[in-house]
Structure 1
Amino acid sequence: MDQEQAVSFLKDIIQIKSVNPPGNETAVAKKLKSLFDEYGIETELIEYDDNRANLIARVTGEQDGPVLGLTGHMDVVPIGENEWEHDPFGAEEENGKIYGRGACDMKSGLAACASAMVSLKEEGLPIKGTVTLFATVGEETGAVGARQLTEQGYADSLDALIIAEPTRNQVNIAHKGALWPQIITYGKTAHGSMPDKGINAVIHMNEIIHRIAGGDWEWQYEEDELLGGATYSIDVIKGGSNTNVVPDQCFTNIDMRTVPSQDHNQIIEQMQQVIEAAKEKYPDLKADIRILNDQSPVKTSNDDSFVKLVQDVVKVDGSAELGGITAYTDGSQFKHAQKEFPIVILGPGETSTAHQPDEYVEINKYLDSIHLYKEIAKKFLS
Structure 2
Amino acid sequence: MDEKEDIVEWLEKQNPVSLLQDAIRCNTVNPPGNELALALKIQKILNDYGIPNELYPASPGRANLIARINSGKHGKRLVFSGHLDTVAIGESEWDYPPFAGECVEGRMYGRGTSDMKGGLYSMLLAFSYLHERREEWQGECLLAVTFGEETGGEGAKRMMCDQQLPTYDSMIIAEPTAHKLVIAHKGVLWVKIKCYGKNAHASMPQQGMNAICMAHDYFGCLQQSKMQETCHPLLSQTTFTVTKIQGGEKINVVPDYCEMTVDIRTNPSVNHSTILVLLQETATRIAGSHPCSRIEVETLLDLPAVMTSVESSIVRTAQNVLLENGYSDITPIGANYFTDGSVFSQYQSGDILIMGPGIPELAHQTNEYIEIADYKKGVKFFYQIAAAYLSETDNERSYV
Task: Tell me the TM-score normalised to structure 1 length.
Answer: 0.94
Structure 1 residue 363 corresponds to structure 2 residue 359: no
What residue in structure 1 maps to residue 241 of structure 2? Answer: 233
What residue in structure 1 maps to residue 231 of structure 2? Answer: 223
- 1:150 and 1:336 in contact (8 A); partners too: no
Identity of aligned residues (%): 38
Say which SS state the counterpart of residue 328 (structure 1) adopts.
Answer: coil
Following superposition, the deviation at residue 218 of structure 1 comes to 2.8
Query: Structure 2 matches for 1:78-93, cutoff 5 A?
Result: 78-93=88-103
Say which SS state the counterpart of residue 339 (structure 2) adopts.
Answer: coil
Task: Tell me the TM-score normalised to structure 2 length.
Answer: 0.90
Structure 1 residue 60 corresponds to structure 2 residue 86: no
What residue in structure 2 maps to residue 127 of structure 1? Answer: 137
Following superposition, the deviation at residue 60 of structure 1 comes to 1.3
Unmatched 5+ stretches in structure 1: none
Q: Which whole-Å deviations, capped at 9, do the CAs of 1:268-317 have from their partners, x for residues lacking one?
A: 11111112221342132211111222221101011112211111112212
Superposed structure 1 runs of 4+ greater than 6 Å apart: none
- Separation in structure 1 between the aligned mates of residue 94 and residue 277 of structure 2, nearest angstrom: 43
Following superposition, the deviation at residue 196 of structure 1 comes to 5.6
- Separation in structure 2 between the aligned mates of residue 191 and residue 48 of structure 1, nearest angstrom: 50
Query: Structure 2 matches for 1:1-382, cutoff 5 A?
Result: 2-3=11-12, 5-192=15-202, 195=205, 198-213=208-223, 215=224, 217-219=225-227, 222-317=230-325, 318=327, 319-337=329-347, 339-382=348-391
- 1:221 and 1:262 in contact (8 A); partners too: no
Paired amino acid for 1:232 = F
Bigger mean CA deviation after superposition, 317-326 or 276-285: 276-285
- Separation in structure 2 between the aligned mates of residue 307 and residue 208 of structure 1, nearest angstrom: 42
Q: Which whole-Å deviations, capped at 9, do the CAs of 1:43-98 have from their partners, x for residues lacking one?
A: 11112211010111111112232110011110000000111101000101011111
Calculate the aligned-residue CA RMSD, in Å: 1.7
Residues 123, 66 of structure 1: alpha-carbon distance in 2 compared, 3 angstrom cutoff: closer
What residue in structure 1 maps to residue 397 of structure 2? Answer: none
Paired amino acid for 1:42 = P
Paired amino acid for 1:66 = K
- Separation in structure 1 between the aligned mates of residue 163 and residue 76 of structure 2, nearest angstrom: 17
| Number of residue pairs matched by the alignment | 379
Following superposition, the deviation at residue 332 of structure 1 comes to 0.2
- 2:228 and 2:239 in contact (8 A); partners too: no
Say which SS state the counterpart of residue 35 (structure 1) adopts.
Answer: helix
- 1:69 and 1:131 in contact (8 A); partners too: yes
Bigger mean CA deviation after superposition, 154-163 or 139-148: 154-163
- 2:96 and 2:110 in contact (8 A); partners too: yes
- Separation in structure 2 between the aligned mates of residue 326 and residue 199 of structure 1, nearest angstrom: 37
Unmatched 5+ stretches in structure 2: 1-9, 392-400
Paired amino acid for 1:358 = N
Q: Which whole-Å deviations, capped at 9, do the CAs of 1:148-186 have from their partners, x for residues lacking one?
A: 112222344211000000011111111111112211112
Paired amino acid for 1:342 = D
Following superposition, the deviation at residue 108 of structure 1 comes to 0.5
Paired amino acid for 1:347 = G
Following superposition, the deviation at residue 125 of structure 1 comes to 3.3
- Separation in structure 1 between the aligned mates of residue 322 and residue 93 of structure 2, nearest angstrom: 37
Say which SS state the counterpart of residue 131 (structure 1) adopts.
Answer: strand
- Separation in structure 2 between the aligned mates of residue 15 and residue 106 of structure 1, nearest angstrom: 14
